[in-house]
Amino acid sequence: MANPLYVGLDVGGTSMKAGVVDDAGTALASVSLPTEAHRGQEFGLERMCETIRQAVAAAGLRMADIAAIGVATPGTMDIPGGLILDPPNLKPWRNVQVRGHIESVFNLPTSFQNDANAAALGEFWAGVGRDVHSLVLFTLGTGVGGGIIIGDLVVEGEHSHGAEVGHMKIEMTNPRQCGCGRWGCLEAYASATSVVKRALEGLADPGVNSTLRSLSLGEGGMTARDIFDAAEAGDAFADKIVLDTAYFLAVGAMNMMHTIDPDMIVYGGGMIAAGEPFLDRIRMFVHELAFPVPAARTKITYAQLGPDAGFYGAAAGARHLYLKKK
C-alpha cells in the first residue's frame, strides 16, 4: 500500500476504543463501545471485532483499505502467544486467544501488546514524545502503570512483565502494602487510590486540622482531585500529601533515569489534572535525587493524547508489524 492505514484497538475494563490511524500518526476516526466483560469472553471477542468494523466505517473506509490491526489489552497476558491470561479488569475472561481470533476474522496481520505499553508507544509515535528517541511513561490512576520505549523497541520483557514501573520498590523500611499483595511498591504510595488512603490515615489523628475532614465523612468519599484542590487552596495537610506524592514519583523517575537514561519521563492519567505546579515539584525532587547530568537533561512532562493514547499505540504496533513483514 502506498499510504497504509492501521486500526488500533484499546480494550479496557469499562469500554474499548478503536481508531483508524494513517502512516504519519494522524487519527482519521475513532469509535468507543462498552466492554461488558461480564457477558463473557466469546461476547468480548465479537465486541472487539465490532468496534474495529465501526471505526473503519466511521472513517469512510472498508476493511480492504486496512494494512494491519493492533490490539492492546490489560494484563496478565502472554504477549508472544497472543493470549489474555487472567485479567483482573476483565473477569471472568481467562486464557483468551485475542490475536489469533482477530487475525482469523479479518485475515490481516495483527499485533498484540499490553495496554500500558501501548499508551507509551502512542505518546512516542503521535504524542509528546514524537521528537525523542526514548521515553518512560508513568500512568497515574487507580494504580500506577507504565511503558518503556527505546527507539523502535517496546520493553515487554521475556515473560511479558516488562515495564511494570508501578511495582518497583521505593521503600524497604516499614513499607506500605500494594494492591498486588507485595510491599513497598511505587503504586502503594503514588496512585490516586494510595493518595486518598494516605490522606485518610492522616485524618485519623484528631489533631489534624484540614478542610478534607468533612469530605472524608461525606457519602461520596474523598478523591485525589479533592486533595490536590485543597492543597491549591492553601490546606497545609493536603499540601503535605501532594508534596510527598511528588517525592515518591521523583524516586520512581530517578530509578528509571539511572537504569535506562531516557530522553523523557512522561506522566499520564487522571492525576495530571494537578497541572504544572505538581510537575515542578517532581522536577525539584528529581534534581535532588538523580545524577546531575540526567537530572539536567531529561525532560519531565505530561502526556498529550489522554485516553486516546492506547489506540494510537496499538496502531503503532500494527505499523511496526506491517513494516517488518513488507
> Which residue has cell 492519567?
269
Q: Where are the domains of the chain?
A: 5-124+307-325, 132-303
Give pLDDT tens digits along the chain (326 positions).
678 999 999 999 899 999 999 999 999 999 999 999 999 999 999 999 999 999 999 999 999 999 999 999 988 889 999 999 988 889 899 999 999 999 999 999 999 999 999 999 999 999 999 999 999 999 998 889 899 999 989 998 898 888 999 999 999 999 999 988 999 999 999 999 999 999 999 999 999 999 998 886 655 689 999 999 999 999 999 999 999 999 999 999 999 999 999 999 999 988 888 899 999 999 999 999 999 999 999 999 999 999 999 999 999 999 999 998 87
Distance CA 303, CA 184 (A): 26
| Alpha carbons 246 and 250: distance in angstroms, whole number | 6
Residue type, 217: L
- End-to-end Cα, the chain, rounded Å: 10
Strands 264-268 and 299-302: parallel
Q: Grid coordinates in use for 301?
A: 512532562
Alpha carbons 260 and 263: distance in angstroms, whole number: 9
Say which CATH class 132-303 falls into.
alpha beta
Does the fold of domain 132-303 match that of domain 5-124+307-325?
yes
DSSP assignments along 230-286, one per residue: HHHTT-HHHHHHHHHHHHHHHHHHHHHHHHT--SEEEEESGGGGG-HHHHHHHHHHH
Is the previous residue joined to 92 through a cis bond, with omega within 30 degrees of 0? Answer: yes
Q: What pLDDT is attached to residue 312?
A: 98
Q: Which residue has the cell 485516553?
A: 307
Query: Which of 67, 64, 84 shows the shortest CA–CA distance to 75?
Result: 84
pLDDT of residue 218: 59
Angle between helices 236-259 and 192-203 (to 10 degrees): 140
Tell me how long the chain is.
326
Q: What is the 3-state secondary structure (H, E, C) of 10-79?
A: EECCCEEEEEEEECCCCEEEEEEEECCHHHCHHHHHHHHHHHHHHHHHHCCCCHHHEEEEEEEECCCEEC
Q: Go through 277-313 and write b for each residue having 16 or more CB atoms within 10 A of its CB, e for each that does not.
A: ebbebbbebbeebbeeebbeebebbbbbbeebbbbbb
CB 6 within 8 A of CB 302: no
Tens-place pLDDT, residues 46-105: 999 999 999 999 999 999 999 999 999 988 889 999 999 988 889 899 999 999 999 999
Percentages (nearest 5) of helix, strand, coil residues in the chain = 45, 20, 30
**Residue indicated by cell numbers 461476547:** 43
Q: What is the pLDDT of residue 202?
A: 95
CB 278 within 8 A of CB 256: no
CATH architecture of the domain covering 5-124+307-325: 2-Layer Sandwich (3.30)
Q: In the prediction, which pLDDT does 219 show?
A: 57
Task: Supply φ then ψ for residue 27, to 5 degrees.
Answer: -80, 130
